[in-house]
């Protein structure tokens, strides 16, 4: 979806648009806001919608319309059968939504992470859950470093095919023996006459079974040969050639989000061309940081959507379920935990969209340090609020909370993802205690 198409879309879907600028190009204080509640149905939104920009509300409306074609039964079936939601991916690609935060010159909408976060939240909140979000997650954030540092050839071929849905992509960073210690990755890309030979192992690579491309972080200079640990890593955009004997994909059975695959990926002298390098060799860690904060915002939005979806299910059930001659929601033992969960979600929502606005302010007025703290804090708070909401939703349903047909058990299984990935709660606490409180580094 180009910027012109986006503008036409705004006019056709919201006749009262007051601003034609994207929030990512507008100073934070001047982002237009809407004071009225917004809803895509006759039902009132559970989440308070005051303060969002017209662009964000339009994204929410449009994505909700697409998601309405994929009811909870679709996601229940995909979860139970571990079947990829390719139809959902195709529907979003058809209308250009996979390029929401990519430049207009590459076929994207040229919008910001604020709008992309709203899109991801709307997806999870629709009932698609983390599975729906993860089906397109890497297409949104993993392409950010590629769009900023990629060669002209990469920009003209790879990104348009990702946006239109022809190619799906995955993100290859995590390794089994290094975990969160990214600077000590062991996957090695050795220089050859016409490219690189990759050997090593990656783990928890989402959508590798269906992806055509991988954004791969590998070491091009051994750790013992660099002066700083941040040096010696390079970023690549590589083809996933399943016919190559040097590539092995092994699916991991997992607790939640079963509709999308997670994998161990083994490289054994897997040849890639020189043209696959993104940016400068040995500068991959600096390049990949460009997408890290964006990913935290998106994960925060996804967690929020999951939490609101669970809370809506619980509150509806509490109004309808009658025990001892009264709806269980009349009992404070049921009502108060749900009200508390709602307030936690609302607080995390404010932190999430504050972080996204800071990220989108690209005029240099916001220090990178402040953006990092905001994005990590938002991810932490949203993940914790979502867990609280999902757990209490199951408990409010009593025995039926354990039944697949009520969805809340699926939400509870999936809400652990944003608590664990892409960085653990403990590492975020380490980051804040060191960077903000200036306490001694603990790791």
DSSP bridge pairs for 200: 267
- Give the orientation angle of helix 113-123 with respect to helix 54-67, to 10 degrees: 30
Q: Name the CA radius of gyration of the chain, rounded.
A: 22
What pLDDT is recorded for position 5?
64
Direct distance between the N- and C-terminal alpha carbons of the chain, in angstroms, rounded to an integer: 44
The encoded tokens of residue 439 equal 């306490």
| DSSP string computed for 232-255 | SEEEEEEE--TTSTTEEEEEPP-S
pLDDT at 216: 97
Average pLDDT rounded to a whole number, residues 1-26: 48
Report how far apart, in Å, the C-alpha atoms of 202 and of each of 172, 186, 229, 324 are: 6, 9, 19, 54
pLDDT at 138 over 60: yes
Residue 191 and residue 198: Cα distance in Å, rounded?
9
Q: Domains, the chain, ranges and CATH?
A: 3-163 (1.10.540.10), 169-284 (2.40.110.10), 285-435 (1.20.140.10)
pLDDT score for 65: 97
**Can you give the pLDDT at residue 41?**
43
* 333-357: average pLDDT: 98
33 phi and psi angles, rounded to 5 deg:
-125, 160
Report in angstroms the alpha-carbon separations of 415 from 92, 124, 128, 245, 408.
23, 10, 12, 36, 10
Joined together, the tokens standing for residue 246 give 């040097």
| CA–CA separation, 261 and 241 (whole Å) | 17
Beta carbons of 200 and 186 less than 8 angstroms apart? yes
0.75 cut: is pTM over it? yes
Sign of the torsion formed by the C-alpha atoms of 252, 257, 261 and 264:
negative
| 270 secondary structure, DSSP code | E
Query: Higher pLDDT residue, 33 or 8?
Result: 8
pLDDT for 253: 97
> Left if phi > 0, otherwise alpha if psi is -120 to 50, otherwise beta: which for 439?
beta
**Backbone dihedral angles phi then psi of residue 337, each to the nearest 5 degrees:** -60, -35
How long a stretch of residues is the chain? 443
Which helix (H) or strand (E) element contains residue 218? Answer: strand 213-219
182 CB neighbour count, 10 Å cutoff: 18
Name every residue whose Cβ is closer than 8 Å to that of residue 82 and which is 6 or more positions away in sequence. Answer: 258, 259, 261
Maximum Cα interatomic distance, the chain, rounded to a whole number of Å? 79
Q: What is the DSSP letter of 124?
A: I
Residue 44: pLDDT above 80?
no
Q: What is the mean pLDDT of residues 218-225?
A: 96
pLDDT band at residue 290 using 50, 70 and 90 as cut-offs: confident
Contact 27, 361 (CB under 8 A): yes
Per residue in 305-335, pLDDT tens? Answer: 999 999 999 999 999 999 999 999 999 999 9
Q: pLDDT band at 191, cuts 50/70/90?
A: very high
323-341 b/e with 16+ CB inside 10 Å = b? eeeeebbeeeebbebbeeb
Separation between Cα atoms, residue 50 and residue 339, nearest integer Å: 19
pLDDT at residue 38, rounded to an integer: 37
Q: Are strands 169-172 and 213-219 parallel, antiparallel or unpaired?
A: parallel
Give whichever of 38-52, 243-257, 358-372 has the largest mean pLDDT. 243-257
Average pLDDT, the chain: 91
Rounded Cα gap, residues 309 and 316, in angstroms: 11
In this predicted model, which residue has the larger pLDDT, 23 or 59?
A: 59
In the chain, % of residues over pLDDT 90: 86
Q: Is the pLDDT of residue 154 over 60?
A: yes
Arithmetic mean of pLDDT, 36-63: 80
């Amino acid at each position: 979806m180009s910027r012109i198409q986006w503008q036409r879309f705004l006019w056709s879907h919201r006749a009262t648009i007051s601003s034609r600028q994207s929030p990512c190009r507008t100073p934070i204080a001047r982002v237009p806001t809407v004071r009225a509640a917004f809803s895509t149905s006759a039902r009132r939104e559970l989440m308070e919608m005051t303060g969002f920009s017209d662009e964000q509300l339009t994204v929410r409306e449009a994505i909700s319309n697409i998601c309405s074609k994929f009811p909870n039964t679709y996601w229940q079936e995909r979860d139970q059968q571990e079947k990829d939601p390719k139809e959902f991916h195709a529907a979003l690609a058809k209308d250009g939504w996979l390029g929401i935060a990519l430049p207009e010159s590459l076929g994207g909408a040229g919008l910001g992470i604020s709008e992309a976060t709203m899109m991801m939240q709307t997806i999870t909140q629709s009932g698609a859950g983390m599975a729906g979000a993860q089906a397109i997650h890497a297409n949104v954030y993993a392409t950010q470093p590629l769009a900023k540092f990629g060669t002209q050839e990469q920009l003209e071929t790879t990104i348009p095919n990702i946006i239109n849905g022809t190619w799906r992509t995955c993100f290859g960073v995590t390794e089994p023996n290094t975990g969160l210690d990214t600077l000590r990755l062991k996957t090695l890309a050795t220089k050859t006459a016409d490219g690189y030979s990759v050997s090593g192992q990656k783990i928890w690579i989402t959508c590798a079974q269906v992806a055509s491309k991988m954004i791969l972080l590998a070491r091009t200079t051994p750790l013992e040969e660099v002066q700083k640990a941040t040096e010696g890593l390079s970023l690549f955009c590589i083809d996933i050639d399943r016919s190559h004997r040097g590539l092995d994909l092994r699916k991991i059975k997992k607790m939640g989000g079963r509709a999308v695959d997670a994998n161990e990926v083994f490289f054994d002298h897997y040849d890639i061309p020189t043209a696959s390098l993104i940016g400068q060799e040995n500068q991959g860690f600096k390049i990949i940081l460009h997408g890290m904060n964006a990913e935290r915002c998106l994960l925060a939005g996804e967690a929020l959507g999951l939490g609101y979806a669970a809370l809506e299910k619980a509150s509806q059930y509490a109004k309808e379920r009658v025990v001892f001659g009264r709806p269980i929601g009349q009992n404070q033992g049921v009502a108060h935990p749900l009200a508390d969960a709602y307030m936690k979600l609302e607080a995390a929502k404010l932190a999430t969209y504050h972080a996204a606005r800071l990220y989108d302010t690209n005029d240099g007025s916001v220090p990178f340090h402040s953006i990092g703290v905001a994005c990590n804090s938002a991810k932490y708070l949203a993940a914790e609020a979502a867990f609280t909401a999902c757990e209490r939703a199951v408990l409010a349903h009593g025995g039926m909370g354990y039944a697949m047909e009520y969805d809340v058990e699926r939400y509870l299984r999936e809400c652990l993802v944003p608590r664990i990935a892409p960085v653990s709660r403990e590492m975020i606490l380490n980051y804040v205690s060191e960077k903000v409180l200036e306490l001694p580094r603990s790791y």
